[in-house]
Amino acid sequence: MASTGAHGEHNYLNHQKGIWSWLTSLDHKRIGIMYFITVMIFFLVGGLFALAIRTELWSTGETIMTAETYARVMTYHGAVMVFLVIIPGIPAFLGNFFLPMQIGAKDVAFPRLNLMSWYCLLLGAGVALLSLLYGGADTGWTFYTPYSIKHAPAVICMALGVFIAGFSSILTGLNFVVTTHKLRAPGMTMNRIPLFVWALYSTAIIQVLATPVLAITVVLLAAENIFGIGFFDPALGGDPVLFQHFFWFYSHPAVYIMILPAFGVISELITTFARKTIFGYTAIAYSSLAIAAVSFFVWGHHMFVSGQSEFAGVVFSFLTMLVGVPTAIKLFNWIATLYKGSINLASPMLFALGFMFLFTIGGVTGIFLATVATDVHFHDTYFVVAHFHYVMVGGTLMAIMGGIYYWFPKMFGKLCNDAWARISFVFIFVGFNVTFYPQFVLGSLGMPRRYFDYLPEYEHLNKVSTIGSYLIGIGFVVALITIIHGLLKGKPAGPNPWGAKTLEWQTSSPPPHENFHTTPIVTAGPYEYR
């Protein structure tokens, strides 16, 4: 038992001491912080790969690396960012920390599984990195067959790494589903849970339903490499496109694993910093569930030019348009919340507004790509690259940054320097647009993705894009310094520096080991501002 009061106020950070107490901790808050650190390190790695890609593309021909190296760098950038950064990013880090607190619970339903999921992520990352010993995988993060079934040990390592990391995601999802069902505080009915919880809950459903299919797919991929089982090998009558079906059955819903929690964060930020009750709580809540459900019906839009039947292409194209509806519902409700609110442009709000702007561009260009006729032109060009970076970086990463600045005072009991946080926003936001907007143009001019070289006429815009990527890099360095400075020198935050209404702000900062001094009893909705 930890001593209480010996070191000032008792909280989860000083509840127990030493690195071992962290590595064996069953406290969802500590596991959340462990995810924070892990994801930040992976983000650094993935980010360095990204800068290497952009540096190579500074000029035509071989700039700093060969074509073979470039293919590997691009693969690891994608795989690290997708499987190790964005997917665990919000749910396993911010979600782990705040989902139980927002519903007034003391912990997640299965704390041991929660810890295990963190180790699964590390182990999965470790096994995937073993592939570097075999020269590295160069298939892109999607591991498309038949290129990926050439008996390559590197692909086997990546497949098994993804399999194990997938367990991490499944366990987090499982935990969140049961926690949301069973551990809500008295009075916390399902239509009083904060929108961040709704988003995480919808995400958890996707994690539970989609990830197992990825698991069997990568097992089959590994078996294909080891035994040549032939499911995806045309020589045995197998079908390479079937791999894409299985892969995207997971990976399309997975992009909602990435973006839905971001929607949740934005809902929290908008209502808090507009100091106004969220507009259309029910609509936003159920649109999260709707997106989760629809996400399973649209995966074929990744395969319009892959040899999928034209009929299936038309069906998937139509179904894909449906995703636009719940997404737009969210956006309009956020804008309606801002209307006549007392908007406070603190750094988290800047990220939220940046999110709305960038995500809208990402979403609307997604409609271009969902339309078969235009996709045939845009497919595998930089237009696609720009589109999903607007969604994943302009969307999810902006939300993560906003979420970090928003909840930092709660997690550590200290304030970040808001001026520096805003400077980091300016660098990231400007740098992001400078990097990726030209890629829309490049893509519509026909520049294909995944090559280390390009035609000379694309050089100017590529130079602009590369400069932008360095600006993003500077922005994240500033953000990192701001966070570390806040940790070391930040002023005491007090329990509720932003005047937010959800439950996590009603306890001390940092929270005590059991989250609340007394179990909260809920009598009203989550955002009772005015």
Rule CB under 8 A: which residues touch other proteins? 1-2, 16, 20-21, 24, 100, 105-111, 113, 170, 174-175, 177-178, 181-183, 205, 208-213, 215-217, 219-220, 223-224, 227-231, 233, 236-239, 241-242, 245-246, 249, 296-297, 299-300, 307-312, 315-316, 514
Residue 209 CB, nearest approach to other proteins (Å): 5
Closest CB to other proteins among residues 450, 517: 517
Residue 279 CB, nearest approach to other proteins (Å): 30
Of 439, 322, 320, nearest in space to 378 by CA: 439
The answer to whether 514 touches 27, Cβ cutoff 8 Å, is no
Backbone torsion region of residue 446, taken as left when φ is above 0, otherwise alpha when ψ lies between -120 and 50, otherwise beta:
left
Of 411, 468, 417, 418, nearest in space to 439 by CA: 468
The answer to whether 172 touches 157, Cβ cutoff 8 Å, is no
Tell me the C-alpha distance between 215 and 221, whole Å: 10
The answer to whether 14 touches 513, Cβ cutoff 8 Å, is no
Residue type at 10 in one-letter notation: H
Angle at the Cα of 463 from the Cα atoms of 461 and 467, rounded to 5 degrees: 115
Closest CB to other proteins among residues 288, 465: 288
Closest CB to other proteins among residues 122, 219: 219
Residue type at 472 in one-letter notation: I
Residue 371 CB, nearest approach to other proteins (Å): 19
Tell me the C-alpha distance between 388 and 390, whole Å: 5
Closest CB to other proteins among residues 242, 480: 242
Residue 239 CB, nearest approach to other proteins (Å): 7
Residue 260 CB, nearest approach to other proteins (Å): 17
Residue 263 CB, nearest approach to other proteins (Å): 21
The answer to whether 326 touches 287, Cβ cutoff 8 Å, is yes
Closest CB to other proteins among residues 227, 339: 227
| Cα dihedral 391, 394, 396, 399 sign | negative
Closest CB to other proteins among residues 133, 521: 521
Of 262, 302, 206, 257, nearest in space to 94 by CA: 262
Closest CB to other proteins among residues 106, 463: 106
Residue 299 CB, nearest approach to other proteins (Å): 7
Residue 1 CB, nearest approach to other proteins (Å): 5
Q: How far, in Å, are 16, 103, 490 from residue 408 at the CA level? A: 21, 19, 10
The answer to whether 344 touches 277, Cβ cutoff 8 Å, is no
Closest CB to other proteins among residues 76, 246: 246
Closest CB to other proteins among residues 344, 519: 519
Residue 52 CB, nearest approach to other proteins (Å): 35
Closest CB to other proteins among residues 187, 307: 307
Of 94, 431, 145, 123, nearest in space to 269 by CA: 94
Q: How many residues appear in the chain? A: 530
Closest CB to other proteins among residues 95, 300: 300
Residue 75 CB, nearest approach to other proteins (Å): 24
Residue 79 CB, nearest approach to other proteins (Å): 21
Tell me the C-alpha distance between 102 and 188, whole Å: 10
Residue 217 CB, nearest approach to other proteins (Å): 6
Q: How far, in Å, are 244, 351, 478, 522 from residue 241 at the CA level? A: 5, 39, 44, 51
Tell me the C-alpha distance between 397 and 389, whole Å: 10
Residue type at 146 in one-letter notation: P
Closest CB to other proteins among residues 65, 223: 223
DSSP letters spanning 281-324? HHHHHHHHHHHHHHGGG-GGGG-TTTT--HHHHHHHHHHHHHHH
Using DSSP, state whether 208 is helix, strand or coil: helix
